[in-house]
Structure 1
Amino acid sequence: MLNLISVLSGLMTLVLALVALIPLLGWLNWLVIPMAVVGAAIGAMSAGTAGRNLNIFVLVVSAIRLVLGGGIF
């Protein structure tokens, strides 16, 4: 059950992360990163690894996007 919640959280944050890739919407990554951390924590408590891995992927993509955008853009 926790893995399902983590996967759903990861899919929601992935959609938001894809929107945040649009120029001038990089500030949205500041919302996506904490959501991905919570999803990864929930996924870490479950027996499966799919949700945790999805949230870690979203976390890495959002962090790289923030670094490339200078933290805001």
Structure 2
Amino acid sequence: MGLISLLWGIVAMVWMIVALIPLLGWGNWFLIPFAAVGAIIAAIGILFTGSGHRGRAKAGLVLNGIVIIVGIVRLGIGGGVI
């Protein structure tokens, strides 16, 4: 679960960088739910993994959390949220 959430977070981060380009901000509408699913997978990974092997899941949770926050801020700045 940790590896899946980490890879999910990396894909979401790349997608976020692309969505920062002007006129591609509409990608944030799809990015936020995508990253939310990654965060849920990471939370499940943290919950069911032993205490010594939670590093990947925690990194995936942090990456997906950052993507969600930046996506929401980007939609707010760009006028995508009314």
TM-score by length of 1: 0.92
Which residue number in structure 1 is paired with residue 71 of structure 2? Answer: 62
Counterpart of 1:66, as a letter, is L
- The list of structure 1 runs, each at least 4 consecutive aligned residues, that deviate by more than 2 angstroms after superposition, is none
Task: Give the fraction of aligned pairs with identical amino acids, expressed as a percent.
Answer: 51
Q: CA RMSD in A?
A: 1.1
TM-score by length of 2: 0.82
Which residue number in structure 2 is paired with residue 50 of structure 1? Answer: 59
* Higher radius of gyration, 1 or 2: 2
* Structure 1 gaps, min length 5: none
Higher helix share: 2
Q: Distance in 1 between matches of 2:24 and 2:12?
A: 14
| Aligned length, in residue pairs | 71
